[in-house]
Structures are given as structure tokens and as C-alpha cells.
Amino acid sequence: MEPVPEYTPVELLEKTRSLGFPEYLQDFFQECIDFHTYPAPGVLIGVFMVDYALAALGKRPRDKIFVTCETPKCLPDPPQVIMHATIGNHRLRVLPIGKFAITLTPSSADESVEGVRVSIDRKKMSRYATLASWYDNSPAFRPATMKRQLVDEILAAGRDILSCERVRMKVTPKKRWKSVTCPSCGEQVPEDLMEGDHCAGCGSMAYYEKVP
């Protein structure tokens, strides 16, 4: 079969306009595709997930909200772009569970906090055969010819393939820490990150050797 070219970012944004998505959602797509550098299917689904979770929580994108993402693939990008919840500002946590799911919780001074978890619901995918084959990582999904159809189905589905549930989780309190010098490398690290008598950089997380 002839290869079917996938959507360019410009074509894809044109498509979101022609489908009549609200302007703010079109902006989310544009900003997320730009940040991710290409319109990955997981990013597109992630935009719907963040939008759904925010609506369920009754919050606005720039409210102080903590995000837990259950996969490092694609999904961490939409909350970073839309909500400015990043690894660096400690409002984004990525757990390598391997599920396409995201939990949003408001800022709280209590021991636990209630929020919403939005996940892909495979049972709701029966009307979207290409999307289902891609999601299953099945050989039936052929990237050379089916990427355009995949995006069409993602945009047609929107929240249709998602589930939203109320959840409660523990709040991790901020802990005090003390700076120590690693005797092995002479560099400073927080004491609780030491691995016995050396830092993790000299131990289990060593990843480079010095070039003379």
C-alpha cells in the first residue's frame, strides 16, 4: 500500500479549527505540539486528559495544582505546557507505572488531599479500531499508512475514551535536609542522598568518567 503522509503540525492545527474545538483548546494543542516538537499521538491525548481533569477539578490551568503522571512517555508534556507544572518546580511527578493516566490534586496543607485521576479506558475504544491497535502496540497498526487515521480518531474521540475518578492521596511533606561533602569526589550533596560513605554519583548512579 502507498504510504499515507502523517499530518504536519500546521495541517493538524487546521484540523482542530475545522472540528470546531474551542479556541483555548486549539491553543493548548499548538503549544504542546510546539514544545514536544511534533504532534505525537500521546501528546494529543494528553491535552484532552489535562483539559478533562482541570474541568473535573473545577480549576484553571495556572492554579497551583500537583500532577502525578503514570508514564514518562509523552504524557508529562501537556501538564508542563498547559499548567506550568514541571519537574523543576516540584509540581510534576512521573511514576514509571506504564499506564496512560494522570492525577491532579490541588495544593493542600493537610496530610492527604482529594483530586481527580483521568485515564485511558480501553473498553471505550471499540469504535476506534486504529486507535485501539496503536494503543495495544499491535502489529495491526501500520505506522506507514495509519498515522493520519490514528490522529483523526484521537481528535474524534476526545474525552470519549477517557475515564475520570475521584481519588485521595497522601501529601508528601517538605523535609529539612543537611548538606555534606562526599569524601570520594569532594562535591556537596544532601546527606539523605548519600550511599553510605559516598554519594550516588560515585556509587549506583555513576554515569560518566572524566576525560583527561
* Residues binding Zn ion (CB under 5 A): 182, 184-185, 199, 202
DSSP bridge pairs for 165: 117
Of the pair 4, 206, the CB lying nearest Zn ion is at: 206
Nearest approach in angstroms of CB 183 to Zn ion is: 8
Nearest approach in angstroms of CB 202 to Zn ion is: 3
Of the pair 10, 193, the CB lying nearest Zn ion is at: 193
Contact 99, 163 (CB under 8 A): no
Of the pair 129, 202, the CB lying nearest Zn ion is at: 202
Of the pair 1, 211, the CB lying nearest Zn ion is at: 211
Contact 199, 184 (CB under 8 A): yes
Nearest approach in angstroms of CB 199 to Zn ion is: 4
Contact 63, 75 (CB under 8 A): no
To the nearest 10°, the Cα dihedral for 196, 199, 203, 205? 130
Candidates 189, 211, 179; CA nearest to 203 is 189
The Cα diameter of the chain in Å comes to: 63
Nearest approach in angstroms of CB 210 to Zn ion is: 12
